[in-house]
Chains A and B, each alone.
Chain A
Amino acid sequence: MQVDGQVRVMLVEARSLFREALRTVMESEPDLRIVAEAADANEAVATAERVRPDVAFVEVNLPGTDGIDVVRRIRDRVPHCRALLLADEEETGLLLRAIEAGASGFLTKDCPLARFIDSTRAIHRGEVVIPPRMLGGLLSHLIHRRREQDVAMRVLSRLTPREREVLGLLAHGATNDAIARRLVISPETARTHVHNLLGKLDVHSRLQAAAFVLQNGLLEHLAGAEP
Chain B
Amino acid sequence: MNLSLSRRPARKADVWVHLARDENALFDPRSGAVHLLNDTALAIWDLCDGDTYPVEMIDAVCDLSGMHPDVVTEDIERVLSEFDRVGLVEWIE
Contact = CB atoms under 8 A, between A and B. Distances in A.
Interface of A: 99, 126-128, 130, 132-133, 135-140, 142-143, 146-147
A173 to B, nearest CB: 30
Q: Which of A133, A137, A142, A143 has the most CB of B within 10 A?
A: A143
B36 to A, nearest CB: 13
Interface in B40-71: 40, 42-47, 49, 52, 56-57, 59-61, 63-66
Given A128-B65, A133-B19, A143 B43 contact: no
Given A128-B65, A133-B19, A146 B43 contact: no
Given A140-B52, A142-B60, A146-B59, A127 B65 contact: yes
B39 interface: yes
A135 B66 contact: no
A128 B67 CA distance: 10
Contacts of B39: 132, 135
B40 to A, nearest CB: 8
B19 A126 contact: no
Given A132-B39, A132-B42, A135-B39, A140 B63 contact: no
Contact of A138 (B24, B52, B64): B64
Interface of B: 19, 24, 39-40, 42-47, 49, 52, 56-57, 59-61, 63-66
Nearest to A140: B47
Most buried by A among B43, B44, B59: B43
Nearest to A126: B66
A136 B60 contact: no
Given A127-B65, A128-B65, A139-B57, 7 more contacts: A135-B39, A135-B42, A136-B47, A139-B43, A139-B47, A139-B60, A146-B59
A140 B46 CA distance: 8
A128 B64 contact: yes
Contacts of B66: 126, 128
A146 B59 CA distance: 9
Q: Which of A130, A135, A139, A147 has the most CB of B within 10 A?
A: A139
17 contacts: A130-B64, A135-B42, A135-B46, A136-B42, A136-B43, A136-B45, A138-B64, A139-B46, A139-B60, A139-B64, A140-B46, A142-B64, A143-B56, A143-B59, A146-B60, A146-B63, A147-B56
B61 A139 contact: yes
B75 to A, nearest CB: 13
Contacts of B49: 140
| Most interface-central of A99, A137, A140, A147 (chain B CB within 10 A) | A140
A14 B57 CA distance: 38
B42 A137 contact: no
